[in-house]
Amino acid sequence: MTDSHFETSAIRTQFDRSPNREHSVPLYLTSSFIFDEAEDMRAAFSGETDAFIYSRYVNPNNNEFISKVCIMEGAEDGFATASGMAAVFTTFMSLLHSGDHVISCSSIFGATHALFNKYLPAWGITHSYFNTGNVGGIEDLIRENTRMIFLETPTNPAIELIDLEYVGKIARKHNILLVVDNCFATPWLQQPIRWGADLVIHSATKYMDGQGRVLGGIVVGRKELIQEIYLFGRLTGPSLSPFNSWILSKSLETLSLRMERHCDNALYVATQLEGHHALSAVSYPMLPSFSQYDIARKQMRAGGGIMTITLKGGLDAATGFLDRLKMICISPNLGDSRTIATHPASSTHCKLSPEERQRVGISDGLIRLSIGLEHQDDILKDILQALGQ
């Protein structure tokens, strides 16, 4: 299906039908698979055939999910994991070794930040952060032992963009792996491999499921790298359950439709809120006032479902705003059909020091909004009443 359009591949990529001729792919809830003859089992274990062996390795539902994401991202191969963090961790553990150095953007998902600061140093893996707004500084951070550049764009939660074309060129010039966490954008909006990324990671928990039901993760990219990740994953067991693969593969059928509505709603809400007297800032990539609007236009199809507002009154104003919301939920999640409000300074990013928070653009008045699929007027109405009009 690789010559089909994105929307068609998302629906028509399907695991081989069974003799029962089912229309929609069934759920393969089985931990292992059987062999007709001892020789078949030997050949599967030796890697001479790709017969299914055991669901910690691979399973038909995982295969379908992986195939779809590979087509969407333009990747050669992939490995599906039990969560987005399992994808991040499995990638690091299988490709980084003691003595290696990683360059990462400073605003990254809180748990990834904790991996860099707390665990990787214990295994002799060091890192340097570049300021998200200063990609020109990346080259100064490169050392002889730099093995990987890791980044997210748009960043969480402050919504800053990183020029993928620029970083892709630096990575290639210095022969360093480029790994992009593409969770916020999804492959419908942005395909980092086009700009030179070697691997793309997703928390499928977010927009890929899109309905806040299951945890999942995936890493896709160059075949030889995925092979390393797969071999490590099949030994250590971060594999995605077939049930979650089945859910996620079905969810991908509607990814483009959902993302279009998320983006339309977010652009509408952001446009309407710009200039509101209670706010000092409204940040959304496709607002012409956005400081990196040109990068957004270059590498993203649309602005995504995440925006931020900054309340003038700081912490008190932000908590008051959350407490007055009627429909919109307070939750750490994002990428759900339901609109969600989060106060990063007191929740998802509370582990950062106040200085670190300031450096990555998380002020006490910052609210992250994950704009859902409700009617845009109902979303806006709830925000306006919680702002006190």
Q: At 334, phi and psi to the nearest 5?
A: -155, 170
Candidate residues 59, 66, 72, 84; the one interacting with ligand PLP per rule CB under 6 A: 84
Q: Does 209 sit near ligand PLP (CB under 6 A)?
A: no
Q: Describe the strand order of the beta sheet including 306-311 as a list of residue ranges.
A: 279-283, 306-311, 366-370, 340-342, 329-330
Residues 247-286 close enough to bind ligand PLP by CB under 6 A: none
> Measured from the CB of residue 362, what is the shortest distance to ligand PLP in angstroms?
14
Total residues at interface with ligand PLP (CB under 6 A): 14
Rg value, the chain, Cα:
21
- Interface with ligand PLP, residue 183, by CB under 6 A: yes
User: What's the rounded Cα separation, in Å, for the pair 208 and 373?
Assistant: 14
Tell me whether residue 58 or residue 208 sits nearer to ligand PLP (CB atom). Answer: 208
**Chosen residue from 77, 100, 181, 382 binding ligand PLP by CB under 6 A:** 181
Q: Give the shortest CB-240-to-ligand PLP separation in angstroms.
A: 11
Closest CA to 159 of 362, 10, 320: 362
Q: Dihedral of the CA atoms 314, 320, 322, 324 (nearest 10)?
A: -150
User: Which two three-digit tokens encode residue 133?
Assistant: 């707004």
CA nearest to 157, candidates 272, 310, 330, 273:
310
Closest alpha carbon to 128 in 154, 120, 109: 120
Q: Kindly state whether residue 85 participates in binding ligand PLP, applying the rule CB under 6 A.
A: yes
Residue closest to 293 by CA, chosen among 269, 272, 321, 267 = 267
> What binding mask, one character per residue, do residues 26-55 give for ligand PLP by CB under 6 A, x or -?
------------------------------
Q: Which of 206, 262, 301, 349 binds ligand PLP (CB under 6 A)?
A: 206
Over the window 105 to 124, marking each residue x when it contacts ligand PLP by CB under 6 A and - when it does not, the resulting string is ----x---------------
Task: Give least dist CB 202 to ligand PLP, A.
Answer: 8
Residue 63 interacts with ligand PLP (CB under 6 A): yes or no: no
Q: Are 201 and 179 in contact (CB under 8 A)?
A: yes
Among 63, 146, 205, 283, contact with ligand PLP (rule: CB under 6 A): 205
Asked if 370 is part of the footprint of ligand PLP (rule: CB under 6 A), the reply reads no
Instruction: Provide, rounded to whole angstroms, the least separation between the CB of residue 213 and ligand PLP.
Output: 12
CA 233/CA 310 separation, integer angstroms: 41
Residue (152 or 382) nearer to ligand PLP, CB: 152
With beta carbons less than 8 A apart as the criterion, state whether 108 and 349 touch.
Answer: no
Q: Which amino acid is at 96?
A: L
Query: Which range, of 53-61, 199-207, 262-270, 353-361, touches ligand PLP by CB under 6 A?
Result: 199-207
CB-based contact 324:386 (threshold 8 Å): yes
* Least separation in angstroms between CB 183 and ligand PLP: 4
Residue closer to ligand PLP, measured from CB, 59 or 182? 182
CA distance 120 to 348: 21
CA distance 283 to 82: 32
By CB under 6 A, which span of 201-209, 227-235, 261-269, 285-293 interacts with ligand PLP? Answer: 201-209
Residue closest to ligand PLP, measured at CB: 84
Nearer to ligand PLP, 109 or 195 (CB): 109
Which stretches of the chain bind ligand PLP, using CB under 6 A? 83-85, 109, 152, 156, 181, 183-184, 203, 205-206, 215, 217
